[in-house]
Amino acid sequence: MSDTVDDVDLPYDEDETSQQEKIQALEDQLEILEAQNEEMRDKLLDANAENNKYQQKLERLTHENKKLKQSPLFVATIQEITDEGVIIKQHGNNQEALTEVTAEMREDLEPDARVAVNNSLSIVKSLSSETDVRARVMEVTESPDVSYEDIGGLEDQMQEVRETVEMPLENPGMFDDVGIEPPSGVLLYGPPGTGKTMLAKAVANQTDATFIKMAGSELVHKFIGEGAKLVRDLFKVAREHEPAVIFIDEIDAIAATRTESKTSGDAEVQRTMMQLLAEMDGFEERGEIRIIAATNRFDMLDRAILRPGRFDRLIEVPKPGKEGRELIFEIHTRGMNVSDDVEFTALAEEADVASGADIKAICTEAGMFAIRDDRTEIRMDDFRDAWEKIQADGDETDDVSKTFA
């Protein structure tokens, strides 16, 4: 029993101590757990924040993805910014529309700027300036590397171009003194490859003028809906580069006789031509800018562009005659190693239907024949073979175009 009493009495203190130790241990553990809990809660909060961030990113990407999947935007040009809204003209169909814009966007817009519009013709964003389009459609050369000595057989034409384009640029006072207006525009017409572009380049070179070339066909076919604006730009660029020679190649593409059909394409061509005429008519203060146009299709031209004050000086640039061809052969072989047996008179006679461009091609091809034969000197036969090849190639191209016509 005493054992029992002892058991009861003796360890009492000890028990209490161990209880307290246990409590202490539990308290310590609780403290650790609480600290761990705190830490976990922080981590959870961080994870939540991270989750939010990813959620937002996901939303943004989903939105962008949706936008990308939407139908493409259309390009339009601002016509006018009015109190009622902004008038835009869509490219391609030329339809005008009045659309509203936010005040912030309105600040960014100006007439003639290009914008992207959605299906309901709301302006979504304004597009970067059109210098790129200008660059693609206009060839601007500060000083073209063609001089009068490079042109063969066009003495009369050269003389006329010098009088009508060069003199007014070099000596404008003379026309004032005499009391006459220099011709407004000069139109060069004739078959392809006869030196029309060369003449325009040479006169720009002689007068230290900037040569600005624009091709009529590109204007109406490549940049549909922008023709009129590009014509305006053309004259603006010329004003920025005075003295300047504007050269409009293939003018028939914008100034062809009006056809009966009333397609939107025709309307676009008409608008481009009207803009050209407006620029020329309102060009009294032309300053040091001259305009030269060229065409292979004189018969197709709308007579409106030939009225006084417009292209009122017509210069025919025909295929070269025998003497002309001989001169052109001499010009294009200047830097070539030509054998003594080569007779340009005979070649000019043989290549009786060749244009200046054909003769240039004959010379290059003759050089190729010599190279193929491992020679550095070009012989008479090389020129003859070259002319044969060029004629054969020409026939083949004709056949191909007939097949696809």
Q: How far apart are CA 38 and CA 53, in angstroms?
A: 23
Site for ligand ATP in 220-239 (CB under 6 A): none
User: What does the buried/exposed string (b/e) look like for 294-324 if buried means 16 or more CB atoms within 10 Å of the residue's CB?
Assistant: bbbeeeebbeebbeeebbbbebebebbeeeb
Q: Is 198 in the site for ligand ATP (CB under 6 A)?
A: yes
332 known ligand binder: yes
Q: Is 151 in the site for ligand ATP (CB under 6 A)?
A: yes
List, in sequence order, every residue forming a beta bridge with 338; answer none if it has no partner. 378
The answer to whether 279 and 311 have CB atoms below 8 angstroms apart is no
Site for ligand ATP in 246-265 (CB under 6 A): 249
Binder of ligand ATP out of 168, 183, 185, 193 (CB under 6 A): 193
282 known ligand binder: no
The per-residue DSSP string of 164-203 comes to IIIHHHH-HHHHHHHT-PPPSEEEEE-STTSSHHHHHHHH
Binder of ligand ATP out of 77, 164, 194, 207 (CB under 6 A): 194
Binder of ligand ATP out of 197, 270, 272, 275 (CB under 6 A): 197
Q: In the stretch 270-299, what mask flags binding to ligand ATP with x, by CB under 6 A?
A: ------------------------x-x---
Using CB positions, name the residue nearest to ligand ATP: 356
Among 46-54, 145-153, 258-266, 334-342, the segment contacting ligand ATP (CB under 6 A): 145-153
DSSP one-letter code for 285: T
Where does 135-287 show beta strands of DSSP type E? 138-141, 185-189, 210-215, 244-249
List, in sequence order, every residue forming a beta bridge with 211; answer none if it has no partner. 141, 245
Closest CA to 139 of 197, 218, 213: 213
In angstroms, what is the minimal distance from the CB of 359 to ligand ATP?
A: 7
195 known ligand binder: yes
Residue 370 CB: number of other CB atoms within 10 A?
A: 20
Q: Is 360 in the site for ligand ATP (CB under 6 A)?
A: yes
The single residue listed with the structure tokens 């609780």 is: 30
Q: Is 205 in the site for ligand ATP (CB under 6 A)?
A: no
In angstroms, what is the minimal distance from the CB of 332 to ligand ATP?
A: 6
Among 105-113, 192-200, 205-213, 391-399, the segment contacting ligand ATP (CB under 6 A): 192-200
In angstroms, what is the minimal distance from the CB of 193 to ligand ATP?
A: 5
Among 100-108, 150-158, 283-291, 395-403, the segment contacting ligand ATP (CB under 6 A): 150-158
Closest CA to 247 of 203, 283, 284: 203
Q: How far apart are CA 312 and CA 335, in angstroms?
A: 39
Closest CA to 241 of 143, 151, 147: 143
Q: How far apart are CA 28 and CA 374, in angstroms?
A: 101
Among 8-16, 55-63, 234-242, 353-361, the segment contacting ligand ATP (CB under 6 A): 353-361
397 known ligand binder: no
Q: Is 167 in the site for ligand ATP (CB under 6 A)?
A: no
66 known ligand binder: no
Residue placing its CB nearer to ligand ATP in the complex, 194 or 275 = 194
CA 165 to each of CA 75, 251, 291, 304, 341: distance values in angstroms, whole numbers, following the listed order: 39, 18, 8, 21, 41
Binder of ligand ATP out of 192, 265, 287, 321 (CB under 6 A): 192
Site for ligand ATP in 314-343 (CB under 6 A): 320, 328, 331
In angstroms, what is the minimal distance from the CB of 287 to ligand ATP?
A: 26
In angstroms, what is the minimal distance from the CB of 219 to ligand ATP?
A: 15
Closest CA to 353 of 196, 188, 192: 192
Binding-site residue ranges: 193-198, 332
Residue list, annotated binding site for ATP: 193-198, 332
Residues lying near ligand ATP in the complex (CB under 6 A) are found at 151-154, 192-198, 249, 294, 296, 320, 328, 331, 356-357, 360
